[in-house]
Structure 1
């Protein structure tokens, strides 16, 4: 009003006229924007960040409807910490709109969550968990229990199914599209077909089977008896061991490559052998050892493939390591150190930017961004006991962690706004 009006003009009138002029100009711009072809409009919106897209969606109903489309948010989602879009181009959660995943991903990056104990038990155990859509599988002593995950965040009570058969505790298990396969302290591997009563026992290890992995028709197990074994799930060779590999050290972890051509073993590093080695699946022969030298006792407790040429590992040496397995390099390309010098019992990657790890003391879970050298967020799930995080899994909005006496959950969905948007 001071810039445009004379001394006799009322400031309120001038201000309202300018506001109306701005509103008319904005409406003209929005009308022109909506008249663009859809491919051109997608290109324009691809230059906006998530905050700008959120504000644009509040301008009018037409833009609100248009900006709900996944194609509008795809560029932003690829830069988010945990949106479900992997580097190879897969979408982990296609049933959830990308706009909602971007909102939740901001909570992951900022550490905004609520914590709850879904289950408690009295005896100290070494539990293992797996997620499959809205089901959570949890090993407790010699049983595996299946629970339905509730969207309201309430605690779990009665399991939908209980799987037994081992004489001692279940060390690890894996859930595939067709089978639930468990490895136990009794040296047995039990494969249960999910859609039939067929149960097959694989015997061959002399001591407890510490780890198991299965992909396609190939299954690999690792044991305290210093061997790794390759098995097949084909109906013609059920229960038959294809290869027995002498590792000369206790095997703590195994992982099969997505290409099925090789697998990796992580051992205790108590002998004069590299703890991380890659083997040929078909021949059962050593392909190469990864890294070195490792100090004695720096065992590898968990390994996971992100792709046929990218591998993550962690263990007693307090490091997460990122390996490039291409024949021309086969080396560690990046590493992250646990800031409190604790052993890392488990990890999981979302195939893009985020890694979650579980530490050996006080139930500490950490989130890592591969684009940064330091830990992004840290959560202490247990202050009363020094339990390790034995296993963790996450989906689009929750992280589940298994401790010695508790199953904990971190909910990153955040509060729901009154408008529902």
Structure 2
């Protein structure tokens, strides 16, 4: 019986059991098999097992506008370390920049301003002319977050400013007595942490905008905060106190309401399960050169990218392995930390003290290398 007499759903099911190389070879047989072998239904199982394809463990597809076959191809470049490196921007005074990425727009804080730059959709190419600037702080911006409609920034002047991304309007919230080191936002709730040894909860609701709902004393400087995807499951989680002195947490990322990642001065990335009564660390990855970890991002599935404190080094981790998957040294000119990084399926952007770098994993250019 001809293979093409089978119902399409049966044929897709059969092809879903093939591996990456077999599907590529099969797609070269004829036009009809090429059509079937390029369908997302065939590649979904493979994509879930690869790093940084945008398919999370919960089955969510973060980049549905890009075919899964293309993302699996680029994923192999991530795993093998094949990329082009490019210095996108450089500036003279040393800063502590922060990044956020929203599809085809990259936001970068530089001193008291936050600048927005366009990326060419689908190619990740950087447009050096900024198209928007958000200002209002009287000192450097420490952190900022994005919502669908707002950009919320925290500065060393102790202020929190809510900017409207659609126009130049901004609303100032007098946040803390000292610099605000970190901030996060979910829905109409903002949480901020400060040098004044407290974390505060604010509301963005139209009636009570800017009102402080709660102040949480922490007895130490707050370096990082994160709000659970289910905001009200618990207000504060204690992950333990038996750490060595100076082992501050510099970045936090939730993967689910009950699972989160932390990194910081003690050179470890830790994976926490909040469903365990003791809020147990279920896995950890140590930075092999004993360097502090300033920032990180997860793909929601298998990959973690982290920025280290020395020589502009970015490390990639596969959570199924204990050893570092890949290491990229962005610069040898200065020993700068990677203060912030963000990635999508094809590019990684990293901000150092005096420059912004990009790693392009599309692998189509002549400079693609390991």
- TM-score range for the pair, normalised by the shorter chain length: over 0.9
Q: TM-score scaled by structure 2?
A: 0.96
Residue 392 (1) aligns with residue 341 (2) = yes
Instruction: Give the whole-Å Cα distance in 2 for the aligned partners of 1:154 and 1:412.
Output: 12
**Greater relative contact order (Cα < 8 A, sep 6+):** 2
Aligned with 1:61 (options 31, 54, 61): 31
Of residues 79, 104, 120, the one that matches 2:74 is 104
Tell whether the 8 Å contact from 1:291 to 1:332 is kept in structure 2 after alignment.
no
Match among 179, 195, 212 for residue 183 of structure 2: 212
Helix, strand or coil for the counterpart of 1:66?
helix
Partner in structure 1 of residue 280 of structure 2: 331
How far, CA to CA, are the matches of 1:216 and 1:242 in structure 2?
15
Q: 1:384 to 1:292 in 2, by over 3 A?
A: same
Aligned to 2:310: 361
1:293 Cα offset (Å): 1.3
- Summarize deviations over 1:120-139 as a string: whole Å, max 9, x none: 10110000010001000000
- Tell me the C-alpha RMSD between the 2 structures: 1.5
Query: Any stretches of 5+ residues in structure 1 without a counterpart?
Result: 1-30, 263-279
2:252 corresponds in structure 1 to: 303
Alignment partner of 1:411 out of 353, 357, 360? 360
Count matched residues: 365
| C-alpha distance after superposition, 1:354-380 (max 9, x if no partner) | 000000000100000010000000000
Distance in 1, matches of 2:104 and 2:188, equals: 25
Residue 274 of structure 1 is matched in structure 2 by none
Aligned to 2:271: 322
Structure 2 matches for 1:267-278, cutoff 5 A?
none
| 2:294 is aligned with 1:345 | yes
Secondary structure at 1:261 match in 2: helix
Residues 177-229 of structure 1, C-alpha deviation per residue, up to 9 Å, x if partnerless? 01100000100000012235542211130111000100111100000111100
How many angstroms apart in 2 are the aligned matches of 1:104 and 1:118?
21
Contact 1:200 1:238 in 2 (8 A): no
Tell me, yes or no, if structure 1 residue 172 matches structure 2 residue 143: yes
Counterparts of residues 27-42 of structure 1 (less than 5 Å): 32-42=2-12
| 1:139 corresponding residue in structure 2 | 109
Contact between 2:118 and 2:126, CA under 8 Å: does it hold in 1?
no
Q: Please give the secondary structure, in 1, of the residue aligned with 2:350.
A: strand
Partners of 1:358 and 1:172 in 2: how far apart?
16
2:62 — aligned with what?
Answer: 92
Q: Which runs of structure 1 show a deviation greater than 6 angstroms over 4 or more consecutive aligned residues?
A: none
**How far, CA to CA, are the matches of 1:360 and 1:416 in structure 2?**
30
Bigger radius of gyration, 1 or 2? 1
- Find the aligned partners of 1:149 and 1:131 in 2 and give their Cα distance: 10
